[in-house]
Chain A
Amino acid sequence: MYLIDIILGETCLSVLKISDLHKTYKTSFYKKNKKVLNGLSFSVPEGTVTGFLGGNGAGKTTAIKCILDLCIPDSGEILFFDKKKISLAVKEKIGFLPERPYFYNYLTGLEFLKFYGKLSKMSNQNIIIKSTSLLKKLDLYHYKDQLLGSYSKGMLQKIGIAQALIHDPDLLILDEPMSGLDPDGRHYISEIIKDTAKKGKSIFFSSHLLDDVEKISQNLVILKESKLLYEGQTEELLKTYQSGYELHYSLNSEKHILKLKELSLMQSKIEELIKKGAIIFEFKAVRPSLEEVFVNMALNTQQTHSKHIVNK
Chain B
Amino acid sequence: MIINILALNTFKEIMRDKILYSLIVFSVILMGISIALSDLSFGEKSRITLNFGLTAIHISSVILSIFIGSSLVLKELKNRTIMTLLTRPLSRSTFILGKFVGLLMVIISLLLGLSLILFGIMTVMSVPVTMSFFIAIYGIILEAAVLTSLTLFFSSLSKVFLAISFSIGVFFVGHWIESFNYFVNKGHLAHFKFISDNLFYVVPNLERFNWRSDVIYNNLVDSNIILSASLYSAVLCAFLLTLSFFIFTKKDLA
Contact = CB atoms under 8 A, between A and B. Distances in A.
Most buried by A among B12, B82, B83, B90: B83
Interface string A59-89: 0000001001111100000000000000011
Nearest to B94: A88
A115 B9 contact: yes
Contacts of A102: 79-81
B81 A119 contact: no
Contact of A89 (B2, B9, B89, B254): B89
Interface in B65-114: 79-91
Q: Is the interface of B mostly helix, strand, loop or mixed?
A: loop
A98 B81 CA distance: 9
Contacts of A91: 87-90
Given A104-B13, A106-B16, A120 B80 contact: no
B87 A70 contact: yes
Interface string A88-122: 11011010111011111011000100011011110
Given A103-B84, A115-B5, A163-B84, A71 B253 contact: yes
A51 interface: no
A107 B8 CA distance: 12
B17 interface: yes
A177 interface: no
A83 B216 CA distance: 65
Contacts of A65: 83, 252-254
Nearest to A64: B83
Contacts of B250: 72
Given A65-B253, A88-B90, A96 B12 contact: no
Contacts of A100: 80
A119 B252 contact: no
Given A71-B253, A98-B80, A104-B81, A119 B88 contact: yes
Nearest to B253: A70
B12 to A, nearest CB: 7
A96 B83 contact: yes
A160 interface: yes
Contacts of B88: 91, 116, 119-120
B89 A92 contact: yes
B22 to A, nearest CB: 16
Interface in B1-31: 2, 5-6, 9, 12-13, 16-17
Contacts of B82: 70
A164 B82 CA distance: 14
A65 B85 CA distance: 13
A69 B5 CA distance: 22
B84 A116 contact: yes
Given A65-B253, A70-B254, A71-B253, A96 B13 contact: no
Nearest to B80: A102
A88 B92 CA distance: 11
A91 B90 CA distance: 8
A94 B87 CA distance: 8
Contacts of A98: 80, 83-84
B16 A119 contact: no
Contact of B90 (A96, A103, A119): A119
B4 to A, nearest CB: 9
B84 A88 contact: no
B253 A160 contact: no
A163 B85 CA distance: 10
A120 B254 contact: no
B156 to A, nearest CB: 15
Contacts of B84: 96-98, 101, 103, 116, 160, 163-164
B87 A68 contact: yes
Given A96-B83, A160-B84, 19 more contacts: A65-B252, A65-B253, A68-B86, A70-B83, A70-B254, A88-B89, A88-B90, A91-B87, A91-B90, A96-B87, A98-B80, A101-B84, A102-B81, A103-B84, A104-B13, A106-B16, A116-B84, A119-B6, A119-B88
Interface of A: 25, 65, 68-72, 88-89, 91-92, 94, 96-98, 100-104, 106-107, 111, 115-116, 118-121, 160, 163-164
7 contacts: A65-B254, A70-B86, A70-B252, A72-B252, A92-B89, A119-B6, A121-B89
- 9 A-B pairs with the lowest CB-CB distances in the bound complex, closest first: A119-B88, A88-B89, A106-B16, A96-B87, A98-B83, A91-B89, A71-B252, A92-B89, A70-B253
